[in-house]
Amino acid sequence: MSDHLAKAQEFEKKAEKKIKSWSLFGSRYDDAAELYAKSANHFKLAKSWDRAGSLYVILSDCHLKSDNKHEAAIACVDAANCYKKTSNKGAISCLDRAVSIFLDIGRFSIAARYCKDIEATTSANQCKLKVAQFSAQQEQYQKAIEIYEKIARQSLNINLLKYGVRGHLLNAGLCQLCRGDVVAITNALERYENLDLTFSRTREYKFLADLATTIEEEDVTKFTHVVREFDSITRLDPWKTTLLWRVKEALKAKELEEDDLT
């Protein structure tokens, strides 16, 4: 195995040197691609999956610069197969890139095949989302939050999955609200803004931020108004309604407690 690592590093250095060289005949990217392919293969034989995956991605870039798009897509698939050993996010990202290239060159049937691989991972995520949903129903909010946030992070840079990010963050935020910790809610919203730079411009973000304000102000009437306004445009499903009802009941309890003290 150490022999494969040594050879992998040797071919990688040669490839990097070739990239920096000037070539009168042929393409330095073609020459470098051959060396990167050998390097990636040896990293794979050494079971250094992340290094192999990263080299296949570089190999894909070389093929693109030589206008060998089919080979570039295949290199992305090879990268995905390596990343499957260590990182679902890395694997999906590479498959997503491969699908885009195959579509660009009109290889629709091959693109569809790799879309199914992405969907398989999506199906696994659906199971995890069910776990998060049931966890929240059982008031295991932290567990649910961790699942929603993790899937949001994994989906963010994947074209076929990123459309669902704001929904995952909304669900995580609702679970944060159920915990009743205003500081934690504020910190979570800041974290979600940093995670997805577009999230702060969505209705979901405004909804969570407005709800957080009503909780901080302990204003049940305002809370109800915010929920109704959001529901009038985007219908809240029973799961979200249940969580929001719990938050409202907690607010009512605080209000009654304060009335008793005065």
Q: In this structure, is residue 116 part of a structural domain?
A: no
Q: What is the reported pLDDT for 148?
A: 96
Whether residues 236 and 161 share a domain: the answer is: yes
Domain end, chosen from 63, 78, 106, is at: 106
Boundaries of domain holding 198: 123-261
Whether residues 147 and 210 share a domain: the answer is: yes
Domain end, chosen from 77, 106, 135, is at: 106
DSSP calls for the chain? -HHHHHHHHHHHHHHHHHHHS--SSS-HHHHHHHHHHHHHHHHHHTT-HHHHHHHHHHHHHHHHHTT-HHHHHHHHHHHHHHHTTT-HHHHHHHHHHHHHHHHHTT-HHHHHHHHHHHHHHHHHHHHHHHHHHHHHHTT-HHHHHHHHHHHHHHHTT-TTTGGGHHHHHHHHHHHHHHHT-HHHHHHHHHHHHHH-TTGGGSHHHHHHHHHHHHHHHT-HHHHHHHHHHHHHHSPPPHHHHHHHHHHHHHHHHHHHHHHHH-
Whether residues 252 and 219 share a domain: the answer is: yes
**How does pLDDT run across 55-67, given as a tens digit for each residue?**
999 999 999 998 9
**How does pLDDT run across 48-106, given as a tens digit for each residue?**
999 999 999 999 999 999 899 999 999 999 999 999 898 877 888 899 899 989 988 98
Q: What is the reported pLDDT for 1?
A: 67
Q: In this structure, is residue 202 part of a structural domain?
A: yes
Q: In this structure, is residue 137 part of a structural domain?
A: yes
Please tell me the distance from the alpha carbon of residue 140 to that of residue 144, in angstroms, as a whole number.
7
Whether residues 65 and 139 share a domain: the answer is: no
Whether residues 130 and 219 share a domain: the answer is: yes
List the structure tokens of 224: 């109800």
Q: In this structure, is residue 31 part of a structural domain?
A: yes
Whether residues 90 and 163 share a domain: the answer is: no
Whether residues 136 and 216 share a domain: the answer is: yes
Whether residues 155 and 89 share a domain: the answer is: no
The stretches in the chain having pLDDT less than 70 are 1, 22-26, 258-262
Q: In this structure, is residue 246 part of a structural domain?
A: yes
- Amino acid identity at 205: Y
Domain count, the chain: 2
Q: In this structure, is residue 53 part of a structural domain?
A: yes
pTM of the model: 0.66
Whether residues 9 and 83 share a domain: the answer is: yes
Whether residues 129 and 238 share a domain: the answer is: yes
Q: What is the CATH number of the domain that holds 202?
A: 1.25.40.10
Domain end, chosen from 106, 135, 153, is at: 106
Q: In this structure, is residue 112 part of a structural domain?
A: no
CA-closest candidate to residue 198, choices 231, 148, 156 = 156
Q: In this structure, is residue 186 part of a structural domain?
A: yes
Whether residues 253 and 167 share a domain: the answer is: yes
